[in-house]
Chain A
Amino acid sequence: MTEYDLSLEAIRMSGVYPERCMKCGKCSGACPSYGEMEYHPHQFVDMISKGRIKELMESDSIYKCLSCFVCVERCPRNVFPANIVEAVRTLSERRQGADRISPDTLTEFIDGDTPQQLLMAVMRKYSK
């Protein structure tokens, strides 16, 4: 499978059309994780449409997205950048042995107040 095919697969999973993007940068301007990311939301949109998914898949940036949907809210072109970040992350985690947090390591962050909601979210966001 070529990198371009892999990019197309992520685009298909995301269910959105990155070519709608008009490069206004509002997504990255609004992102609360901007300062933590190597690649920013607008770069995810741009790079994936050019077939450059591998750098994104190998970057920790995929774990910096908080799924707060600010980028989706402010995008004037309905690109849904968060869905593209999520698709790259999902594709990355679906590889065998690529779980970021597994049921075995789940206990490391649990304390007496941890809400069940967080456990569920972690199993969805960090493992497949």
Chain B
Amino acid sequence: MVYDYYPGCTLKSKASRFDISAVKAAEALGAEMREIPEWQCCGGVYPMACDEIAHRLPSVRALNEAKNNGRDLLTVCSACYHVLKSVNYDMKNSMDVRSKTNSYLEYEKEYKGETRVVHYLEMLRDDIGFDAVSEKVVNPLKELKIAPYYGCLILRPSKIIGFDDAENPVTMENFIKALGGDPVVYPFRNECCGGYAVAEDKAIAEKKSREIIECAKKHGADMMITACPLCMYNLKKYADIPIKYFTEILCEALGIEADGE
């Protein structure tokens, strides 16, 4: 199994351990992640205004590269996933966005949203299969109650993102079970951590993050996992239990050493 890999800006710097652990674990599971050359930052947030064509170009370039390589485009970061998938939806469903973007890019063949965008968790769930992951586990995460934190971007809006049921997701819970861990189901797992608003209003990020952490702890969590470096940043500031990227516990369970920032 070979994927075109879109790491995104943070995975090459502040969240390098997220990138390293993802690549190593995939290797152990028989999946190769080929980083696409000269990828550009997705912008971190999806440009919702439909006249913002330039902000969509980095995503379209990556999507078209994967199309030309005949592969799926794999991401690990929730934000990149959300942006790539939303832009791909526009390229498929908005004549206005599609024609303006293609007129600018002048590819030999129009890009029409053909590429499949895959989140790493979808790769584990749908392509490799959680059962196959489970078979490779050497250090089951026994006696550890792990609270999966989904946040917003990997789930919503589900009519465009389509990762899981946005109100009652199960993918991360099943992922934890596959590693031999005990998933904590708690109502705040898909609430917003405050996101980018932390830049001008630390209080809102603190309030939202604390609510999420307290809720997870109340339901018995010893640890939380996330798929988003910005959620990690917000939660980590106020957490007194470990917060890890989901790929870090995957490496632990598979017996793989992975370091990084």
Say yes or no: A32 contacts B9, CB within 8 Å.
no
How many A residues, CB 8 Å from partner? 39
Shortest CB–CB separation between residue B128 and chain A, in angstroms? Answer: 26
Say yes or no: B45 contacts A69, CB within 8 Å.
no
Q: What is the chain A residue whose CB lies nearest that of B153?
A: A69
Interface: B220 (CB within 8 A): no
Interface: B41 (CB within 8 A): yes
Interface: B187 (CB within 8 A): no
Say yes or no: A36 contacts B152, CB within 8 Å.
no
Residues of A near B46 (CB, < 8 A) are 67
Say yes or no: B230 contacts A14, CB within 8 Å.
no
Say yes or no: B166 contacts A73, CB within 8 Å.
yes
Interface: A54 (CB within 8 A): no
Say yes or no: B196 contacts A70, CB within 8 Å.
no
Residues of B near A69 (CB, < 8 A) are 152-153, 156-157
> Which among B48, B55, B152, B191 has the highest number of chain A CB atoms within 10 Å?
B48
Say yes or no: A121 contacts B229, CB within 8 Å.
no
Say yes or no: A14 contacts B157, CB within 8 Å.
no
Say yes or no: A86 contacts B49, CB within 8 Å.
yes
Shortest CB–CB separation between residue B192 and chain A, in angstroms? Answer: 4
Interface: B136 (CB within 8 A): no
Say yes or no: A109 contacts B156, CB within 8 Å.
no
Contact with A along B142-175 (1 / 0, CB 8 A): 0000000000110111110000001100000000
Interface: A47 (CB within 8 A): no
User: How far, in angstroms, from A32 to B152 measured CA to CA in the complex?
Assistant: 11
What band does the interface of chain B fall in when counting residues whose beta carbon is under 8 Å from A?
A: 35 or more
Residues of A near B8 (CB, < 8 A) are 117
Given contacts A68-B156, A68-B195, A70-B192, are A118 and B48 in contact (CB under 8 A)? Answer: no
Say yes or no: A67 contacts B43, CB within 8 Å.
no
Interface: A101 (CB within 8 A): yes
Interface: A45 (CB within 8 A): no
User: How far, in angstroms, from A42 to B101 measured CA to CA in the complex?
Assistant: 32
Interface: B255 (CB within 8 A): no
Interface: B126 (CB within 8 A): no
Shortest CB–CB separation between residue A80 and chain B, in angstroms? Answer: 8
Residues of A near B196 (CB, < 8 A) are 66-67, 118, 121-122, 125
Say yes or no: B204 contacts A121, CB within 8 Å.
no
Residues of A within 8 A of B (CB): 12-15, 32-33, 36, 63-64, 66-70, 72-73, 78, 80, 82-83, 86-87, 90, 100-101, 109, 113-122, 124-126
10 closest A-B pairs (Cβ-Cβ)?
A120-B44, A69-B156, A68-B192, A15-B50, A121-B44, A121-B196, A86-B48, A68-B152, A116-B9, A72-B157
